[in-house]
């Protein structure tokens, strides 16, 4: 579909393609993926400053890495941003403020929590030097699945701002990762905020609903061929070709298995991100 070779032509094609197509689920996690054609291109202006409320409604994150002040602890710690469904932060034991670390925002699946969100990478964080930030959705799943961007984006932005103020983060290695509903949200938020996220990791996604297209993040997607929760054919096998056709750099891994993340897939995703 993309025959234009200029940068301008490529950007226009990506904007049109993702703006006019949506792969989604509208019910609970057990719902099958469906394909819908949007009636208009959904886009937003990114050349004007936005306040926090406007940015959250547009799926935009405003926090950016900065020079941290003071010292902060390593290990597992609560974010302390909410009395209900608080998030977690894991800082590797070998963290040094003089060496900015890669960071991964980790998103749980429907009905999950921050501890479940950390699970795929936590045991490998010390060996790979990753800072892991795991927010928890305000409701059973992420906001865009239940009415549009808003409270979860605001919380993630607050968590990122707090983390950036305390820890040195490499701005060229910031990923957003998720499983199931979290993978769908990671794709959506990652594409909307490609000027912040260099990488997006989506394990068994069901849909993507970016509010806009900013930047060109690299994408890693995996899916089990025997997935009965979010079947592969109407989900990743539709999502991946569209992203590739839109010009995104996509690494895609299918595996013989159900709705899960095999250790080999986790290793492959981490190798890809940390390379």
- Residue 127: per-residue pLDDT: 96
pTM > 0.75: yes or no: yes
Contact between 187 and 204 under an 8 Å Cβ cutoff? The reply is: no
Contact 181, 141 (CB under 8 A): yes
Q: What is the predicted pLDDT for the residue at 240?
A: 98
Task: Look at residue 20 and tell me whether its pLDDT is greater than 90.
Answer: no
CA angle 143, 144, 148 (to 5 degrees): 95
Does pLDDT of 33 surpass 80?
no
Q: 54 falls in which pLDDT band (50, 70, 90)?
A: confident
Spell 190-226 as b/e; 16+ CB within 10 A means b. bbbbbebbbbbbbbbbbbbbbbbbbebbbbbbbbbee
Q: What pLDDT, on the 0 to 100 scale, is given for residue 100?
A: 97
Mean pLDDT (the chain, rounded): 85
Q: Is the pLDDT of residue 4 over 50?
A: no
More confident call, 82 vs 208: 208
Could you tell me which of 204, 211, 253 has the C-alpha nearest to residue 229? Answer: 204
User: In terms of Cα–Cα distance, which of 220, 156, 141 is closest to 187?
Assistant: 220
With beta carbons less than 8 A apart as the criterion, state whether 199 and 217 touch.
Answer: yes
Highest average pLDDT, of 6-10, 20-24, 181-185, comes from 181-185
Answer with the residue of higher pLDDT: 54 or 205. Answer: 205
Digit-coded pLDDT (tens) for 96-132? 999 999 999 999 999 999 999 999 999 999 999 999 9
Percent residues over pLDDT 70 in the chain = 81
**Residue 82, pLDDT above cutoff 90:** no
Res 50: pLDDT: 62
pLDDT tier, 21 (very low <50, low <70, confident <90, very high otherwise): very low
């Amino acid at each position: 579909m993309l025959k234009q070779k200029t940068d301008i032509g490529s950007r226009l094609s990506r904007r049109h393609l993702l703006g006019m197509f949506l792969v989604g689920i509208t019910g609970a996690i057990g719902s099958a993926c469906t394909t819908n054609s949007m009636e208009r291109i959904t886009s937003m202006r990114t050349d004007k400053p936005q306040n926090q409320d406007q940015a959250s409604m547009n799926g935009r994150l405003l926090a950016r890495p900065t020079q941290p002040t003071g010292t902060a602890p390593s290990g597992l710690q609560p974010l302390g941003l909410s009395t209900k469904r608080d998030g977690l932060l894991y800082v590797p034991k070998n963290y040094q403020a003089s060496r900015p670390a890669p960071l991964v925002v980790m998103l749980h699946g429907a009905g999950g929590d921050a501890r479940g969100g950390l699970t795929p990478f936590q045991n490998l964080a010390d060996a790979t030097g990753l800072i892991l930030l795991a927010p928890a959705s305000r409701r059973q799943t992420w906001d865009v699945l239940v009415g549009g961007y808003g409270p979860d984006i605001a919380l993630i932005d607050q968590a990122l701002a707090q983390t950036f103020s305390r820890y040195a983060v490499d701005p060229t290695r910031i990923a957003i990762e998720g499983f199931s509903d979290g993978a769908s949200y990671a794709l959506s938020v990652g594409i909307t905020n490609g000027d912040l996220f260099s990488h997006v990791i989506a394990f068994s996604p069901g849909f993507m609903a970016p509010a806009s297209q900013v930047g060109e993040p690299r994408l890693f997607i995996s899916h089990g061929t025997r997935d009965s929760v979010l079947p592969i054919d109407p989900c990743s096998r539709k999502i991946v070709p569209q992203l590739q056709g839109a010009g995104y750099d996509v690494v895609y891994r299918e595996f013989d298995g159900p709705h899960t993340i095999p250790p080999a897939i986790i290793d492959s995703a981490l190798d890809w991100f940390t390379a």
